[in-house]
Amino acid sequence: MRILVVGGGYVGMYTALRLQRKLKQRLRSGDAEIVVVTPEPYMTYQPFLPEAAAGSISPRHVVVPLRRVLDHCTIVIGEAERIDHAKRTATVTTLATAEDGTGALEIGYDEIVIAPGSVSRTLPIPGLADFGIGFKTVEEAIGLRNHVIEQMDIASATRDPAIRDAALTFVFVGGGYAGVEALAELEDMARYTARYYHNIKPTDLRWILVEASDRILPEVGEAMGRYAVGELRGRSVDVRLETRLETCEDRVAVLSDGSRFPTRTLVWTAGVKPSPLLAATDLPLTERGRLRCTATLAVEGMPHAWAAGDAAAVPDLTAAEPGRETAPNAQHAVRQAKVLADNVLATLDGRPLTEYRHTYAGSVASLGLHKGVAHVYGRKLKGYPAWLMHRTYHLSRVPTFNRKARVLAEWTLAGLFKREIVSLGSLEHPRAEFELAAGGGPVAPQRPGTLPRPATSPDPSTPSSPSTPRGAGTPPAAGTSPGDGIRPGDSTPPGDGISPPPGTDGRPEDPPGGRPPRTPR
Q: Can you list the domains of the chain with their CATH numbers?
A: 2-45+57-120+273-349 (3.50.50.60), 128-271+362-414 (3.50.50.100)
DSSP type of residue 519: P
SS3 per residue for 206-254: EEEEECCCCCCCHHHCHHHHHHHHHHHHHCCEEEECCCCEEECHHHEEE
Q: Give the pLDDT band (50/70/90) at residue 442.
A: low
pLDDT digits (tens, 9 = 90+) for 322-341: 889 998 888 899 999 999 99
Phi, psi at residue 490, to the nearest 5°?
-75, 150
Sign of the dihedral defined by the CA atoms of residues 129, 135, 137, 141, in that order: positive
Q: What is the mean pLDDT of residues 237-257?
A: 95
Phi, psi at residue 43, to the nearest 5°?
-105, 130
- Are residues 88 and 304 in contact, defined by beta-carbon separation less than 8 angstroms? yes
Residue 135 has pLDDT above 70, yes or no: yes
pTM above 0.75, yes or no: yes
With 0-12 / 13-18 / 19 or more C-beta atoms within 10 angstroms meaning exposed / middle / buried, residue 6 is buried
Closest CA to 109 of 303, 278, 297, 299: 303
Q: Give the pLDDT band (50/70/90) at residue 129.
A: very high
DSSP 138-160: HHHHHHHHHHHHHHHHHHHH---
- Are residues 166 and 264 in contact, defined by beta-carbon separation less than 8 angstroms? yes
pLDDT > 90 fraction of the chain, expressed in percent and rounded: 69
Q: Is residue 521 classed as helix, strand or coil in its secondary structure? A: coil
Q: Is residue 493 classed as helix, strand or coil in its secondary structure? A: coil
DSSP 406-436: HHHHHHHHHTTSPPP----GGGGSTTHHHHH
